[in-house]
Amino acid sequence: MALNKDSNGYTFGFAIAMVVVVGASLALVSMALKSDIKKNEADKKMMDILASVGVEATRDNASELFEEMVKERILIDAEGNVINEMGGAVDPTNAEDPFNTDVKKDYKSHVSKLVQAYKNDKETLLAEVSQTPVTYPLFRCEKDGGSFYVVPMVGTGLWGPIWGYVALESDMQTVYGASFDHKTETPGLGAEIKEDFFEEQFPGEQIYNNGSYVSIDVVKGTSSPDNKNAVDGITGGTITSNGVDEMIYRTMAIYDNYFKKQRNS
């Protein structure tokens, strides 16, 4: 019996068949490109980490420069205890490598809701965050005879996630460099956290004051040149600036536990 191509049954059947074929094709393409996607993500991450210590890398040389300059990849818990340490080449498929810790995913799954719930209570926020099943990667770099510690961080801006890398000098309290980025912040306003004029304020700033951890305030208006614990926020981007401020305070407070152990060892 000949098919009635004008029937509803034929139309629905054809549509279902096309969905299956297209879906299967996309799945096969996705599987085939999975390794390339992981490599591209790893290369971009390496570029961002290196940027925080003033090293410009490209996708072509990122892995080579990263292996040369990043001597240790360290994973710590919220108390500053070392869970794992690795060196050498990065394997993007190795879940044990601290490099592959997904800080953005951990923030979204375990931390972001706490930031919203306790945004006006820093002590409670830190106490709650320390109870989450989150681990923290740290990268020790060597450059021009100096040693630097690169801290990855994630927070929330006005419209979505913000993130960055802050590099500390060997004293573990003086900022050497910083690199920030965002997903959906407003161009000309909050999106300017990734511009040079904002990032270039951080080198030389301190996360300690008289021996106590204080972080770096991102202030509305103009900070005093004598204040080594503050930088200027983005004009018209107050909420995003506040997000950067919160992100740095919360994250550095966790890593401070590790830095204290290192200074006392």
Radius of gyration of the chain (CA): 22
What is the average pLDDT value for the chain, to the nearest integer? 90
Whether 262 has a pLDDT exceeding 60, the answer reads yes
Name the token pair of 129: 């965050």
Beta strands in the chain (DSSP E): 70-76, 82-86, 136-143, 146-156, 161-168, 175-182, 208-209, 212-213, 217-219, 230-232
Instruction: Assess contact for 170 and 146: CB atoms under 8 A.
Output: yes
The sign of the dihedral angle between the CA atoms of 256, 163, 169, 214 is negative
**Beta strand 161-168 with 136-143: parallel, antiparallel or unpaired?**
unpaired
Residue range 199-229, pLDDT digits in tens: 999 999 999 999 999 999 999 988 888 899 9
pTM: 0.85
Residue at 106: amino acid letter:
D
Distance CA 180, CA 161 (A): 11
* pLDDT tens digits, one per residue of 166-197: 999 999 999 999 999 998 898 988 999 999 99
